[in-house]
Structure 1
Amino acid sequence: MARKRKGRDISGWLVVDKPAGLTSTSVVNKVRWALEAKKAGHAGTLDPEATGVLAVALGEATKTVPHITDALKAYSFTVRLGQSTNTDDAEGEVIAESDTRPSDDEIKAALGQFIGDIMQVPPKYSAVKIDGQRAYKLARDGEEFEVEARPLWVEELVMTDRPDPDHVELEMTCGKGGYVRAIARDLGAALGCFGHVVRLRRVWSGPFDAEDGLSLEKIEELARTPALDEYVRPLEEGLADLPQVKCTAEGAAKLRNGNPGTVLPSDVEYGDECWASFDGRAVAIGRYKAGQLHPSRVFNL
Structure 2
Amino acid sequence: MARKRKGRAVSGWLVVDKPAGITSTAVVNKVRWAFDAQKAGHAGTLDPDATGVLAVALGEATKTVPYITDALKCYRFLVRLGVSTRTDDAEGEVIATSDLRPADDEIAAALAAFRGEIMQIPPQFSAVKIDGERAYDLARDGETVEIAARELWVESLEMIARPDADHVELEMVCGKGGYVRAIARDLGAALGCHGHVQCLRRTWSGPFDAEDGISLDTIDRLARTEELETHLLPLEKGLADLPELPCTPEGAVRLRNGNPGMVISANCEYGDEAWASYQGQPIAVGIYKAGELHPSRVFNL
Whether these two folds match at TM > 0.5 is: yes
Work out whether 1:106 is the aligned partner of 2:109: no
Distance (whole Å) between structure 2 residues aligned to residue 126 and residue 186 of structure 1:
16
Task: Give the TM-score normalised by the residue count of structure 2.
Answer: 0.99
TM-fit CA distance, 1:133: 1.1
Distance (whole Å) between structure 1 residues aligned to residue 71 and residue 281 of structure 2:
22
Query: Secondary structure of the residue that 1:163 maps to in structure 2?
Result: strand
Distance (whole Å) between structure 2 residues aligned to residue 49 and residue 174 of structure 1:
20
Distance (whole Å) between structure 2 residues aligned to residue 256 and residue 103 of structure 1:
60
TM-fit CA distance, 1:150: 0.2
- Show CA shifts across 1:106-159 (max 9, x none): 000000000000000000100111111111011111223111000000000000
Distance (whole Å) between structure 1 residues aligned to residue 178 and residue 296 of structure 2:
27
Work out whether 1:203 is the aligned partner of 2:203: yes
Structure 2 counterparts to residues 242-261 of structure 1, below 5 A: 242-261=242-261
TM-fit CA distance, 1:2: 4.9
Work out whether 1:289 is the aligned partner of 2:293: no
- Show CA shifts across 1:9-46 (max 9, x none): 00000000000000000000000000101100000000
Match of 1:236 in 2: 236
Query: Contact 2:284–2:296 (CA<8 Å) still a contact in 1?
Result: yes
Distance (whole Å) between structure 2 residues aligned to residue 221 and residue 130 of structure 1:
41
TM-fit CA distance, 1:281: 1.2
Distance (whole Å) between structure 1 residues aligned to residue 76 and residue 114 of structure 2:
15
- Structure 1 unpaired stretches of 5+: none
Match of 2:32 in 1: 32
Work out whether 1:212 is the aligned partner of 2:212: yes
Distance (whole Å) between structure 1 residues aligned to residue 144 and residue 197 of structure 2:
23
Query: Secondary structure of the residue that 2:15 maps to in structure 1?
Result: strand
- Show CA shifts across 1:217-255 (max 9, x none): 011010011110111000000000111111001101100
- Show CA shifts across 1:62-113 (max 9, x none): 0000000000000000000000000000010000000000000000000000
- Show CA shifts across 1:237-288 (max 9, x none): 0000111111001101100000000001321000001111111111000000
Match of 1:161 in 2: 161
Match of 1:85 in 2: 85
Equivalent residue letter for 1:21: G
Equivalent residue letter for 2:241: D
Distance (whole Å) between structure 1 residues aligned to residue 265 and residue 125 of structure 2:
49
Distance (whole Å) between structure 2 residues aligned to residue 132 and residue 274 of structure 1:
35
Q: Structure 1 segments of 4 or more deviating over 6 A?
A: none
Query: Secondary structure of the residue that 1:14 maps to in structure 2?
Result: strand
Structure 2 counterparts to residues 139-178 of structure 1, below 5 A: 139-178=139-178
Query: Secondary structure of the residue that 1:66 maps to in structure 2?
Result: helix
Match of 1:97 in 2: 97
Query: Contact 2:53–2:213 (CA<8 Å) still a contact in 1?
Result: yes
Distance (whole Å) between structure 2 residues aligned to residue 133 and residue 251 of structure 1:
45
Work out whether 1:117 is the aligned partner of 2:117: yes
Distance (whole Å) between structure 2 residues aligned to residue 249 and residue 299 of structure 1:
16
Match of 1:18 in 2: 18
Distance 1:192 1:214, change over 3 A: same
Equivalent residue letter for 1:139: A
Distance (whole Å) between structure 2 residues aligned to residue 182 and residue 4 of structure 1:
43
Match of 2:137 in 1: 137
Match of 1:187 in 2: 187
Query: Secondary structure of the residue that 1:258 maps to in structure 2?
Result: coil
Query: Contact 2:124–2:144 (CA<8 Å) still a contact in 1?
Result: no
Query: Contact 2:115–2:154 (CA<8 Å) still a contact in 1?
Result: yes
Aligned-pair Cα RMSD in Å: 0.7
